[in-house]
Each structure stands twice: as structure tokens, then as C-alpha cells.
Structure 1
Amino acid sequence: MSASTLARGVAVGDPSVLFRGAVSVQPGPPGPDGRPLWWAPWRVPYEEAELHLPEGGVGRAAMPSGVRISLRSDSRWLRCRYQADPAPVLNGPQERPRLDVRVDGRLLRTVRLRADGGDQEFEVPLGGQRRDRLVELWLPTYNQFRLRLLEVETRWQPDERRRPRWVHYGSSISQGRGAASPSTAWHALVAESAGWDLTSLALGAACHMQPMTARLMRDLPAEVLTACVGINSQALGSLGPETFTAAVIGFVRTVRERHPVTPLMMMSTIYAPDRESVAGPSGLTIEDCRARTARAVELLRAAGDLHVHYLDGLKIFGPSDAELMLEPLSIERLHPGPAGHHLFAERFLDHLGMVPSLIARVSA
């Protein structure tokens, strides 16, 4: 695909050759030449987004957390025209619209995007010499993003690496809230270190173990499955003492319909100092949610599912790590800050490495 062809508007028959980690890619309205004016990555099937989030918050699924534009080229520069929408106003420090440019696995530059919904453009030098490079643009975690044009000086090829596919589900903690930039969120660091192909289903304020999310996780190809559950259900009261354990079991059993032996790690939420022993709207504390997640996994294993595992969130980010949280003491503390994401990734990898069946499956 030549630069001149791309200049007419990302004329790719199958846009998935560019977007890695997207569940679907929405074409924009046709331009004068009949081709879409833009392409927007989604983390649910965009045609049925409201079925996944019928009570609102659909925009979170259009925020490309963990999504990469990935290609190979010997170009000495890359030019990107895009549209990005403003991030929602959040409790605590606000998220900034950033995009990471990585070359051959190394962070080359973090680009501060303009998120006003209009056409914007940036250009990045990739190196003074012409040589084959893997170029990845890690898209913003809290801004909807539409690719208008991607231009290089020479021809490019899609990223055809075959790596173990990792699908992760979670809340804003897993969406990347508090990371310094998209590729330094904990899930991105884990994927890069482990050599995994990440698809993130994490949606801030929308991790309630919904049946539609379980169906989506069931239907996605994966060699590794993980989920971090509890914080949204407790804070918003979507699940109570009589339903939380059953919801975990039902979620896992739905996923198992097409992933009967895929390693599946169910992780309870990390340390939440202002909610540990405080009951939410439905009567559950975070301590309760951890105990019920562990109980659900225990019951599933007793019923014969030896490929599901429990990970205590306090082992990943506990009370002694509170100083690494994003929010100051005056605001409810829920999310790791930039340094906390690095610590989270390191410990998460260590604990996954303790699961022999997971290592055997991924290495096969």
C-alpha cells in the first residue's frame, strides 16, 4: 500500500490489518471518492454497542485502550491525521490525551494529542536510515479516536507476528486510568514483556460481569484469559451478597462454552483504602468481594474446572503500595499512578508465572 493510496484515506480492504487489539473497526461516512473518511476502533462490536451497555457509557467502548496501529516499514517518518474526542471528566486528576509511538518494541515518543473532535495531525521521525522497522501507535486510553490518514514515505506491510492472544476484562483500573501514557499502562507492560497480543475489554465503571461481556470473551480467540472484578459491582451496587458469587460462576461458565481448557485467571480488585470495609449500596465491602471471588473459583474447581485460577488483588497492589496511587488523600483512592502501573505489571507477571497450566498452554 503506497503513501499516495493512504493519502486518499486509509484505503484498506480489511482495516484489521492495521488495528491490533480492536474487537471491531467502524468505517466513517464515505468521502468524495466513496472511501470512508475515517476508521474508528471499538472494543465491542460497534453495531451492537448499546446491547453491551444499554444503560449508557457506550463511549467507553470506543476508547481504544490497549489498541495499536501496527505496521512494518522502512520509512524514515510517519504522518498521522486523526480526530480525538475529549475525555470524560473524572474524579481526581484528569486523563490527558496521549499516543505512544513505539519502534521495534521501544518507546520512541509520546505525542500529546489535541482532543477537540476536529482534524489534527502529527509527524514523527522514525530514524535517519532506511531499514525495516516495526512501528506501533498505542492509541489513547480515555479518548475516542478516529484515524483519518496514515502516511509513510515508502511502502508498508501489516504486522504479521503470531503471538499468544491475551484477552483481559476489568474496570478503569484495567482500562489504564492513571498510567503516564498508553503503552505504560500495566496491561500494555505485561503484553510487551510476555510477548502477548493484547485485547482489552476493560471499561471504566462498567465491569459488572454482564452476560454480553461474557459472551464476547467467549467468542474471542485467546490462549490466555484474565479478569479483574469487584470494584464497580461494589461501588455501584450492581451485585449484592446473594448474586456476586453466582455472577462470577455464570461469567466463567459462559466463557467456558468455547474456551473449555484455556487458562483463566479471576483476580479480585486491588487495594481500595476507602472501600475495604465500607459497605456499598448493595451491602458488600471490597473485602466481601474478594472472599466471594475466591469462593466462586473454589466451587468451579471443585466442579472440575482445573484451568480456572484465583489471584488475590492485594498480592498485586496492597496497603503498602497506597503511596503509589493516583488520587491524593482528599479524594477516594482507587487507581495506581504511573509508578504503580509498573509495579502492578511486574507482580502480575510474577503471579501468572506461578500457574503451570498457563505457562504450558502459552508455550505450546
Structure 2
Amino acid sequence: MPTEEQPWTTTPITEELLRGAVELERTERGVLPHRLPARALAQCADAQLALAESQPAGVRLAFRTAATAVELDTVPVKRVYAGAPPRPDGVYDLLVDGRPAGQATSYGGDTLTIDLGAGTAESTAGPVCTSRFTGLPGGDKDVEIWLPHNETTELLALRTDAPVLPAPERGRKVWLHHGSSISQGSDAASPTATWPARAAALGGVELINLGLGGSALLDPFTARALRDIPADLISLKLGINLVNADLLRLRAFGPAVHGFLDTVREGHPETPLLVVSPLLCPIHEDTPGPTGFDLDAIATGEVAFLATGDPAERAYGKLTLTAVREELARIVAQRRADDPNLHYLDGRELYGEADHAELPLPDRLHPDTAAHLRIGERFAELVFAAGPFAGAPAGRGA
């Protein structure tokens, strides 16, 4: 710990110290990492999207230092849903030279109280959270602090008992991934336990996670963001949110997927691009959305979801996960004639019936930590080790 002879060193938090963020907003108190650019948010006044993209899934501070003690001041945003049980606090994961070396739970911060029935939200200011990590090994080392994947986090100050430099580039491939709340990390226990983080660690790649809870909706501004972000490998996990929101019919879904892929390809014409269909989710396999809260479960202190559509409505073009998978497989097969670097993966290869029997979805929609880790390990095996991302050249995302 710092002494009078060796006081704390405060290092400004800048873009050079952050990985996984798309933009950094300067605030009155500090900086706020964003996973979509401001120009994208200006095109959609949706509170759900704004909340999801400001939650720093995959965002981490990365620096080199001889420090044995680190402090990080933040202002987390705690979400409280009226009538629902409390959500778990966010978690900070500390890695030293790529290995787990500590964890801290967020506290304090601002509170966002959401009343889903009334459609209102109220924000209340709260105290600063200071996360402390001590007893780090001496000598120069690479340190990463992964920010909570499910909690908006404003960064105020980084203090150490030795100087800090940005972590050196390791020449690793940059993997850009887009998906839904499962890709963002719901309901993993910590940021490095989300399936993309696990897959990235096993694959030896740098992760940029554009998993957007409730907001993987084939929005053109998201496609343009993906187009403009340098990357060596890109994956798009599509479909579940479109069913959740009952947003599109089959007639519009196919052209929307083509348009999304066309836009991404404008910036990445030859980059290995993987389309992943939804994981198994029994409530929506053959029943359309929208998805609703199970109010009976909430009354008993649990959170669970229901499919509220009618299976007969698939005949009229309503989307189910079965329909989404069929259409995505068809579109990729059609486009591969002109795009050999485009690939398809059925999400049930990552989490299927046998997995659901062993590790069921606790809320009927999102995997738990054990399932996240399994999905990440499967992705690394099927995609990085021997699949479409194996042997892809690095350099474009550097």
C-alpha cells in the first residue's frame, strides 16, 4: 500500500487505457465508456438501447505497471425494477498477466428506478464506489480490470502505488461480436464469465463486445457501427430479440438480414464473418413473441419470462426461433456463392437440448454462469480452434 515515501499515483483514464469501448464520453465527474457511437444513439430515442450500450460488457482497463495496490473510483448505476426482486450488484474482475487475481463488488452509485407498468424511470444520485485490489505481485506486469457487464459505470479515478503505462499491443486478432442480452452477459456472475469473454480468452483474441440486451434488432445504425470498427474477425448472433419484441414478420426479416450483412461488408469485405442463430430457448422455439414477464413468478420473488404469442400465427409470418434459424441458414447459403468468407453456425451447437436438460435457463430466457462458460468453451472449440476463425490472418484490426 502507498506510504508517505511512496504515495498514490493518479493516472487519467483515457482511450489509451481502455479496451472494448467504441467511444468515451467526458462527463462532469469523469468518463463514461460507450459501446455504440453517439451518432448511432442520435438515430434512436430508445431507453432500452441507451441503457444496454452504456453497460460496459467486455470493456476493461488495460495497463502495465509494477504496482502492488490499485484503486478505481466509479459511479455505478443500480437498476431497480418496481415490484421485482433486487438485481445483483456489478462485479469487477482483476486479471494479472491474463490470470484471475481478484474481484470486487460494486456498491453505492446512482439508482435508476424503473416502473415497467407505468413506463416511468426515476434517477437518484448516490455515493462513489471505490474498488481496491491489494497484494498484487511485484515487478512489471499487465493488469486488466474488467468492468461490470450489466451495470452502467462512470469512471472517475485510477490510483496505483507505482506508475502506469498503457498495456502494450500483443498483436492479437480483434474479434468484434454483436448479439443480444446473452452476448452481453445475462445472467453471468462476472464480466469474465460471460460466454464471449470466455471464448476470447480461450481463442487468444481481443474482444469488442457489441452484445446489446434487448437491442439486437438489425438496426441500420448498429450495422454501420460494426462496419466502421476495425476488426479481424466478426460474428453476428441474430434472431432472439426480434422474436422477443415481435418486431418483424418473415417477409421483412430476410431483406433486413441481407441489408445488415451488406452494410457490414462495406467496411469488412473479406473479413471472416460468422452468422450465429439463436441458442435453444424452449419458450420461443415454436411460439412467437412478444416475450412478457411471468407475473406469477415475480410475485414469488423470482424473475421469469413467458412467450405470449400464438403458435398458429407462424402461418401469417410471425417469427419463431425455428423460423429464424431456417431463414438465416438459407440466407448464408445463398450469399456464400459470392462471399466464401461468410459462415453459419446453428446456435443449438453451442447450447442445445442436452445442455438445457443439464443446465436449464433459470428465467426461461438467459443462461446461468455455468452455461455461459460452456457456451464460450464450445464457441472457442467450434469457431476458433478448428472452425471459420482458425488461421485467419491478423493485422486489419490492429
Structure-1-length-normalised TM-score: 0.89
One-letter amino acid matched to 2:53: A
Q: For 1:97-119, what per-residue CA distance to the aligned partner results, in whole angstroms no more than 9, with x for missing partners?
A: 11111111111122111143221
Q: How many residues align?
A: 344
Q: Which residue number corresponds to residue 104 of structure 2?
A: 111
CA-CA distance at 1:146 after TM superposition: 1.1
> Which residue is 2:165 aligned to?
157
Unmatched 5+ residue regions in structure 2? 1-5, 111-126, 291-316
Q: Which residue of 1 aligns with 2:240?
A: 231
* Mapped pair 1:293 → 2:284: no
Aligned with 1:358: secondary structure? coil
Q: Does 1:51 align with 2:42?
A: yes
* 1-structure distance, mates of 2:85, 2:257: 30
C-alpha separation in 2, matches of 1:134 and 1:38: 24
Moved more, 223-232 or 158-167: 158-167
Matched, 1:242 2:251: yes
- Per the alignment, in what secondary structure is the counterpart of residue 138 of structure 2? coil
Cα contact 1:270–1:318 (8 A) shared by 2:
yes
Report what 1:310 is aligned to. 344
Q: 2: CA distance between counterparts of 1:153 and 1:177?
A: 35
Contact kept, 8 Å, 1:115 with 1:143, in 2: the verdict is no
Which residue does 1:191 correspond to in 2? 200
* Alignment partner of 1:359 is 2:393: no
Q: Give, as a single letter, the amino acid of the residue that structure 2 aligns with 1:66.
A: G
Q: Can you give the 5+ residue segments of structure 1 that lack an aligned partner in the other structure?
A: 30-36
SS in 1 for 2:212: coil
Q: 1:275–1:286: 8 Å Cα contact kept in structure 2?
A: yes
Instruction: Judge conservation of contact 1:184–1:341 (CA < 8 Å) in 2.
Output: yes
Q: Corresponding residue for 2:87?
A: 94
TM-superposed deviation, 1:5: 8.9
Q: How far did 1:326 drift?
A: 4.2
Shift of 1:130: 2.5
Asked if structure 1 preserves the Cα contact closer than 8 Å seen for 2:194 and 2:373, the reply is yes
More strand by share: 2
* 8 Å contact kept, 1:178–1:326: no
Does 2:67 correspond to 1:75?
Answer: yes
Q: Which amino acid aligns with 1:137?
A: I
Q: Give the whole-Å Cα distance in 2 for the aligned partners of 1:280 and 1:120.
A: 39
Deviations 1:21-67 (A, max 9, x none): 000011112xxxxxxx311111011x335335333321211100000
Amino acid at match of 2:372: H
Query: Structure 1 vs Structure 2: percent identity of aligned residues?
Result: 32
Cα-to-partner distance string for 1:281-330 (whole Å, 9 max, x where unaligned): 5611110011111111111113x011110100011100111142441xxx
Q: Using the alignment, how far apart are the partners of 2:36 and 2:106 within structure 1?
A: 24
Contact 2:246/2:288 (8 A) holds in 1: no
Cα distance, 1:230 vs. partner? 0.6
325 and 357 in structure 1: CA distance in 2 versus 1, 3 angstrom threshold = closer
Q: CA RMSD for the aligned pairs? A: 2.2
CA contact (8 A) 1:103 1:126 kept: no
CA contact (8 A) 2:12 2:158 kept: no
Q: Is the 8 A contact 1:5 1:11 kept in 2?
A: no
**CA displacement at 1:208 relative to structure 2:** 0.7
Do residues 145 (structure 1) and 153 (structure 2) align? yes
Q: Distance in 2 between matches of 1:219 and 1:190?
A: 23
Name the residue aligned to 1:254: 263
Measured against aligned partners, the alpha-carbon deviations of 1:223-258 in whole angstroms (never above 9, x if no partner) come to 000011110001211121101121111111111111
Cα gap change, 1:334/1:227 in structure 2, threshold over 3 Å: closer, same or farther? same
In the TM superposition, residue 279 of structure 1 has moved relative to its aligned partner by: 2.2
Distance 1:192 1:357, change over 3 A: closer
